[in-house]
Structure 1
Amino acid sequence: MNSGLTYGNDAAKRILIADDHEIVRSGLRAIVEARPNWTVCGEATNGEQALALALKTPPDIVIVDYSMPLMNGLEVCRRLNSANLNTQVLILTMHESEELLSEVIMAGVRGFLFKSDARKHLTSAIEALLEGRPYFTSALLEKLLHNYQSNKQNRSDELLTSREESVVQLIAEGHTNRSISGILKLSVKTVETHRSAAMRKLGMSSTAQLVRYAIRKKLVAP
């Protein structure tokens, strides 16, 4: 391990490594200690030990395997967050699943990396966390983007103004643009503008689609 700790902005950064496989800890230690201002302040072979060491002398970074005996890495992260320590957690895993990625997001994890990416990305991940920036494996970022796009599409109707929704409802009820203009006290041109805006926002191109949308959203009875 590195020695000769300094203080101030150049103070050595203390990093705790937790993994139940010695060969993995050895590899992580080698990467960490390649940096002169980083030091491995301890190693743990299970989640409870990792938590105890981190609570006793809080490190700057805890690198913890998700699949740890006694207490998994996600629970270690939750416990450290609840302790309000100035410690960042980087979770490593060799598994990819929808459930795991969702758990990571919900737990507020700010650092997440696949073990297969560790040799290439571990240093960058640690640097990001030390600077207060999150660092996620590309697969997690892709999931976040996919979820955002899906949620945006699913909630596209929320982008409609109340006036646009009223126009859609009346269209679904069989009213013409002129009839709608009389009901809403708008010009025919304004009705057409609201109709076009609603169709554009909903990604629709026909009156039949608007009718199906209105039925689905219970704006009109089927």
Structure 2
Amino acid sequence: MSSKTIIKVLLVDDHPLVLDGISARLEGSENLDVVGTAGNGQEALEKALELKPDVVLMDISMPVLNGLEASSRFRDEQPDVKVLILSMHDNREYIVKMIQNGAAGYVLKDVSSDELINAIETVFQGGTYFSAGASHTLFSQFADEAEPEAEPVNVLTRREETVLKLLAEGLCNKDVARQLNISVRTVETHRQNIKSKLNITTAAGLTRFAIEQKLITLT
């Protein structure tokens, strides 16, 4: 990622010490600029209107308006803002709900600073990101479930299915293009066709579909 691309980040957590700690961890990246902090989801929504962040890095358990509700409102009211969850909760209920509410990723608080920065950069570029712990909790439990009777993924071509899988794994358009040796414009066309065929409009929705169809598996 170019060092000239500055990603504006809004940090949201109800513990001031946690906010200070996260801010310090992000100082190692020249691509990130912490433009502000908020102590709950309502404050985050208000500050986002003023500060215009690219990514909101947000906890779930907060007073006034929690992360679950705030993510849904960001999706509806400020859809250009990417929401990345940073939480200590690694249970499937939280992770799935956050995806349904429009979050672009879910990272556990025990990740390294480098991984946290990578997660922010990934969702900023239009990808999705799940830390290893969140992925294991989510994907392994989906793998234990019975196969769905319907297989709507069949409406996609083989190439579209491959593109969807890579996007759901967190790759941005540029990375998908590089891996498949095709142009970024071709990836964008595939992405739009996938969304149209599946009637899905968000990156989080595509990720949820890929999980439900078991296109993503643990390695």
1:26 aligned onto 2:20: yes
CA distance in 2, matches of 1:59, 1:156: 39
Describe the SS at the equivalent of 1:150: coil
CA separation in 2, counterparts of 1:25 and 1:37?
A: 19
1:66 aligns with 2:34: no
Contact 1:113 1:137 in 2 (8 A): yes
Q: Write the letter of the residue equivalent to 1:108.
A: G
| Mapped partners of 1:84, 1:69: distance in 2 | 21
Matches within 5 A, 1:24-173: 24-142=18-136, 143-148=138-143, 150-152=145-147, 155=149
Corresponding residue SS for 1:116: coil
* Aligned match of 1:197: none
Note if contact 1:51-1:76 (Cα within 8 Å) is conserved in structure 2: yes
Aligned length: 150
**Contact 2:10–2:55 (8 Å) recurs in 1:** yes
Tell me, in whole angstroms, the C-alpha distance in 2 between the residues paired with 1:155 and 1:64: 36
Q: TM-score, normalised by structure 2?
A: 0.61
CA distance in 2, matches of 1:138, 1:151: 23
Distance (Å, rounded) in 2 between the aligned partners of 1:84 and 1:44: 16
Equivalent-residue separation in structure 2 for 1:105 and 1:148 (angstroms): 17
Output the amino acid matched with 2:125. E
C-alpha displacement of 1:121: 2.0
C-alpha separation in 1, matches of 2:35 and 2:99 = 28
Normalising to structure 1: TM-score of the pair? 0.60
Q: Give the drift of 1:77.
A: 1.3
Indicate if the aligned counterparts of 1:64 and 1:92 stay in contact, CA closer than 8 A.
yes
1:9–1:114 CA distance, 2 compared to 1 (3 A): closer
Structure 2 residue aligned with 1:195: none
Query: Once the 2 structures are TM-superposed, how far is the Cα of residue 120 of structure 1 from its aligned partner?
Result: 5.0
> Structure 1 residues 156, 79: closer, same or farther in 2, change over 3 A?
closer
For the 8 Å contact 1:19–1:45, the answer to whether it is kept is yes
The one-letter amino acid paired with 1:124 is N
Whether the 8 Å CA contact 2:108–2:134 is kept in 1: the answer is no
> Which fold has the larger relative contact order, with Cα–Cα distance below 8 Å and residues 6 or more apart in sequence?
2
Where structure 1 has 5 or more consecutive residues not aligned to the other structure, the ranges are 1-7, 158-222
Q: For residue 74 of structure 1, report the CA deviation from its aligned partner.
A: 1.9
Aligned sequence identity (%): 32
Give CA deviations for 1:22-55 in whole Å, capped at 9, x if unaligned. Answer: 2211111112222123111001112211111012
CA gap 1:118/1:108 in 2 versus in 1, 3 angstroms: farther
Residue 144 of structure 1 aligns with an amino acid whose one-letter code is: F
1:122 aligned counterpart, secondary structure: helix
Q: Deviations over 1:99-157 (max 9, x none)?
A: 212312322321111112253521110111121110012233232354155232x6499
Do the aligned partners of residues 151 and 138 (structure 1) sit closer, same or farther apart at CA in structure 2, a change above 3 Å counting?
farther
| Conserved 8 A contact 1:15-1:40 | yes
In the alignment, is the contact (CA less than 8 A) between 1:17 and 1:64 conserved in 2? yes
Cα pair distance change 1:53/1:84, threshold 3 Å: closer
